[in-house]
């Protein structure tokens, strides 16, 4: 189990005054410089040239307009222990993002991110980048809850604001996130404007500032089996909306089952991603009135079932989970598409 390195150790407050209302403590992270990057030469060499000898763990996120295959990637945030880099895709262009491709695809650099699916989709379709070796804190949170005997409600995924507020991982409020969301609703092009305002810089940096701290806290809790599930599901979530014609043959292989999880020939069941095509006009039957049909399938199968929604793709259902549960979900979904089940 990983322990917190010195920069991420928490300093708890001294005993409060008698009768004082206890407050959530904030991790005392060092104030690190924030660099706006428009040229690859402004990034650390160990990031641009990944190597087995200099393996890294970084916080990672993306901001943009309608971030998906068709949207616009505007900023890519990289959090190192000693600095935060805001990679400006608007000013630096495709050449700057392509310079980051070896790092984003490298198994030597761990990218800690919260909900990687749409970021991965944008990188893949806009820049041909196959995001690899992620630790998705949304997945890690669910695994820890399951490991500790707490069952997650269907479609109840922890938000980043909720994760930051959880005292087990950070215990801070993130009120500015709601302010930025409000601004985005008012003006979806918020992240395209240059020069970056102080609020934009602060909001972008705050989305990755605590990720490494949370990562080390989570690594202390996850057991070996959960760590393997975390790696596999992270890889599958990166692929999820990145549909191609070769069944992801050109993507990095999924992490194998570690030998220490194979006991007397028994091993955890393999997990897979299945992409199910929905014929024109049938998606309503899959979802059902007020979501009743797809909810019933989710209740029956121990698998994640995802639909593209407004961002698309509109004609596919994505299923992630153990092979048997995925096949069960496929059969039930196909049944919903048939007239007899309507």
Predicted pLDDT of residue 5: 55
How far is Cα 177 from Cα 71, in angstroms, rounded to an integer?
21
Q: Do residue 228 and residue 285 come from a single domain?
A: no
Predicted pLDDT of residue 28: 61
CATH of the domain at 316: 3.30.1370.10
Would residue 248 count as lying in a domain?
Answer: no
CATH of the domain at 156: 3.30.420.10
Q: Which of 199, 222, 239 is the endpoint of a domain? A: 239
Would residue 122 count as lying in a domain?
Answer: yes
Predicted TM-score (pTM) of this structure: 0.89
CB 335 within 8 A of CB 341: yes
How far is Cα 321 from Cα 285, in angstroms, rounded to an integer?
23
- The secondary structure of residue 263, as a DSSP letter, is B
Q: Do residue 231 and residue 310 come from a single domain?
A: no
For residue 28, the tally of other CB atoms under 10 A from its CB is 13
- The secondary structure of residue 40, as a DSSP letter, is G
Would residue 258 count as lying in a domain?
Answer: no
Would residue 177 count as lying in a domain?
Answer: yes
Going by C-alpha positions, the residue among 43, 207, 38, 243 that lies closest to residue 124 is 243
Would residue 125 count as lying in a domain?
Answer: yes
Q: Do residue 81 and residue 39 come from a single domain?
A: yes
Q: Do residue 35 and residue 139 come from a single domain?
A: yes
| Paired tokens of 287 | 């979802």
**Three-state secondary-structure class, residue 246:** coil
Length of the chain: 342
CB 70 within 8 A of CB 314: no
Taking only the tens of pLDDT, the chain with its 342 residues reads: 444 555 544 433 333 333 433 334 455 667 899 999 999 999 999 999 999 999 999 999 999 999 999 999 999 999 999 999 999 999 999 999 999 999 999 999 999 999 999 999 999 999 999 999 999 999 999 999 999 998 777 677 999 999 999 999 999 988 888 889 899 999 999 999 999 999 999 999 999 999 999 999 999 999 999 999 999 999 999 999 999 888 899 999 999 999 999 988 888 999 999 999 999 989 999 999 988 999 999 999 989 999 988 898 989 999 999 999 999 999 999 998 885 444
Number of domains in the chain: 2
Would residue 247 count as lying in a domain?
Answer: no
Omega of the bond prior to 235 within 30 degrees of 0, cis?
no
Greatest Cα pair distance, the chain, in angstroms, is 69
Going by C-alpha positions, the residue among 166, 180, 219 that lies closest to residue 74 is 180
Would residue 255 count as lying in a domain?
Answer: no
Q: Do residue 93 and residue 235 come from a single domain?
A: yes
Predicted pLDDT of residue 228: 97
Residue 241, phi then psi, degrees to nearest 5: -95, 5
Q: Do residue 83 and residue 125 come from a single domain?
A: yes
- Specify the pairing of strand 72-80 against strand 83-88: antiparallel
Q: Do residue 234 and residue 274 come from a single domain?
A: no
Domain carrying residue 329: 269-337
CB 277 within 8 A of CB 315: yes
Residue indicated by tokens 């990687």: 116
Q: Which of 239, 254, 286 is the endpoint of a domain? A: 239
Q: Which of 191, 217, 239 is the endpoint of a domain? A: 239
Residue indicated by tokens 């050109």: 250
Walk across the sheet containing 316-322 and list its strands: 271-277, 316-322, 304-307
CB 87 within 8 A of CB 76: yes
Q: Do residue 31 and residue 164 come from a single domain?
A: yes
Would residue 245 count as lying in a domain?
Answer: no
How far is Cα 160 from Cα 137, in angstroms, rounded to an integer?
9
Q: Do residue 135 and residue 185 come from a single domain?
A: yes
Predicted pLDDT of residue 19: 40
How far is Cα 306 from Cα 100, in angstroms, rounded to an integer?
29
Q: Do residue 303 and residue 207 come from a single domain?
A: no
Q: Do residue 93 and residue 223 come from a single domain?
A: yes
- 292-300 vs 323-337: helix crossing angle, rounded to 10: 150
Q: Do residue 128 and residue 276 come from a single domain?
A: no
């Amino acid at each position: 189990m990983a322990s917190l390195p010195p920069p991420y150790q928490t300093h708890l407050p001294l005993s409060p005054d008698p009768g004082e209302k206890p407050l959530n403590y904030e991790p005392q992270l060092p104030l690190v410089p924030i660099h706006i990057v428009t040229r690859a030469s402004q990034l650390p060499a160990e990031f641009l040239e990944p190597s087995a000898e200099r393996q890294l763990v970084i916080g990672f996120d993306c901001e943009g307009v309608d971030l998906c295959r068709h949207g616009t990637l505007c900023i890519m945030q990289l959090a190192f222990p000693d600095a935060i880099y805001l990679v400006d895709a608007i000013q630096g262009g495709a050449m700057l993002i392509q310079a980051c491709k070896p790092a984003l695809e490298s198994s030597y650099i761990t990218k800690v991110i919260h909900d990687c699916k749409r970021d991965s989709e944008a990188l893949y379709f806009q820049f041909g980048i196959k995001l690899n070796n992620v630790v998705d804190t949304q997945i890690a949170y669910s695994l820890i809850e399951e490991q500790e005997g707490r069952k997650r409600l269907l479609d109840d995924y922890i938000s980043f604001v909720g994760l930051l507020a959880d005292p087990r991982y950070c215990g801070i409020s993130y009120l500015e996130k709601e302010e930025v969301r409000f601004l985005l609703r008012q003006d979806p092009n918020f992240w395209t404007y240059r020069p970056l305002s102080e609020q934009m810089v602060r909001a972008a940096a705050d989305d990755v500032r605590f990720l490494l701290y949370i990562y080390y806290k989570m690594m202390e809790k996850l057991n070996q089996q959960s760590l393997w599930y975390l790696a596999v599901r992270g890889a599958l979530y990166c692929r999820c909306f990145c549909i191609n014609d070769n069944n992801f043959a050109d993507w990095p292989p999924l992490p194998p089952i570690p030998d220490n999880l194979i006991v007397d020939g028994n091993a955890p069941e393999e997990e897979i991603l299945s992409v199910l095509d929905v014929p024109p006009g049938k998606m309503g039957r899959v979802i059902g009135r007020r979501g009743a049909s797809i909810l019933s399938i989710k209740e029956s199968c121990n698998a994640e079932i995802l639909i593209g929604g407004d961002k698309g793709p509109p004609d596919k259902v994505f299923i992630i989970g153990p092979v048997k549960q995925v096949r069960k979900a496929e059969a039930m979904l196909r049944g919903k598409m048939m007239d007899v089940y309507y």
